[in-house]
Amino acid sequence: MQFLSIKFLLFIVTILLIQGCEKDPPIQEEKFIKVYVDLLIIQDTTTVENFSPDSVKSLVFERHNISSEQYEKMLDYYNSQPEKWTAFFDSATSYVERLKKEAEKQP
């Protein structure tokens, strides 16, 4: 009987550890913001004739040294905690504003 209790306890602890690990984002938020913004910029500034959507994603992911799986997991992470999207979009907007200011400074 005691053996079953220990086994059950180990099973519960293992499940909790696995769930706890899944709550950490797969990539840093700042990097995710840059990837997301880069994808939007490229999407808005290129035509379909020049690049396919998959090749654009591949280029951005390579530039930021992430995989498409990490990007998808990050989307899942945010979708599982929808309240985080508001802060994310605020940060992404601030990042875009910084990029605009930097571009305006260049001759």
| pLDDT digits 0-9 by tens, 53-67 | 778 889 899 999 999
User: Angle formed by the axes of helices 83-105 and 68-80, to 10°?
Assistant: 130
Q: Pick the range with the lowest mean pLDDT from 42-46, 74-78, 85-89.
A: 42-46
Is 43:13 a contact under the CB 8 Å cutoff?
A: no
Residue indicated by tokens 């601030």: 94
The pLDDT of residue 41 is above 70: yes
pTM for the structure as a whole? 0.71
Is 70:27 a contact under the CB 8 Å cutoff?
A: yes
Copy the structure tokens of residue 27.
């990539």
Q: How far apart are CA 93 and CA 33, in angstroms?
A: 9
Residue 16 banded pLDDT, cuts 50, 70, 90 = very low
Mean pLDDT across the stretch 33-37?
95
The pLDDT of residue 48 is above 90: no
Q: Residue 57 carries which side chain, given as an amino acid letter?
A: K
